[in-house]
Amino acid sequence: MITETAKHAARSSSPFTAHRLNCARTPSEPRAYMTRTLLTLALLTFPLAACAQDAPPPAEREAPVMTGGWSQAVLTPEIEAVAVWAFNAMDVPGAELAEIEAISQQVVAGMNYRMDLVFTDGSRWRVQVYQNLSGERSLTSAEQIKG
């Protein structure tokens, strides 16, 4: 059954024509429309709830890398190469690199790496290396720390 409003909306050139036509329902249709809408929402929500069951607890999730903030890092071949480069750039006579500890990184326009280098003589150095987007490195700080 087309109401008088629907007939007028069909003749109108308004961008809301379709909306007005859809709203011109008979009194028995709103309940069926509401039931279909709720059923659709329930069916779309169920898979999301099921996926949430598989998510690991918050303590097991990795900490996100925040742009501009320092985050802990694990020793990878790339970070090891940065540490060896920093050791060579320091040019400490007679020293040998024994361990790499306390590694962290910071995303900037490139990457900052901060780590503690332990030498075979027991001395410890906290170094910071900047690597630009082209891969060029510079030693931005190196200070001996008590260990």
Residue 4 amino acid letter:
E
Query: From first to last of its 147 residues, what are the pLDDT tens digits of the chain?
Result: 555 655 555 555 555 544 555 555 555 577 777 777 777 766 676 666 666 566 555 555 555 656 678 999 999 999 999 999 999 999 888 889 999 999 999 999 999 999 999 999 989 999 999 999 999 999 999 999 986
Q: Which residues pair with 71 in a beta bridge?
A: 105
Chain centroid offset of residue 59 CA: 17
- CATH classification (class only), 70-145: alpha beta
pTM over 0.75: no
Determine the straight-line distance between the first and last CA of the chain, rounded to whole angstroms.
Answer: 87
- Residue 53's φ and ψ, nearest 5 degrees, are -65, -30
E strands within the chain?
Answer: 70-72, 97-108, 110-119, 124-131, 137-145
Per domain, the residue ranges of the chain are 4-53, 70-145
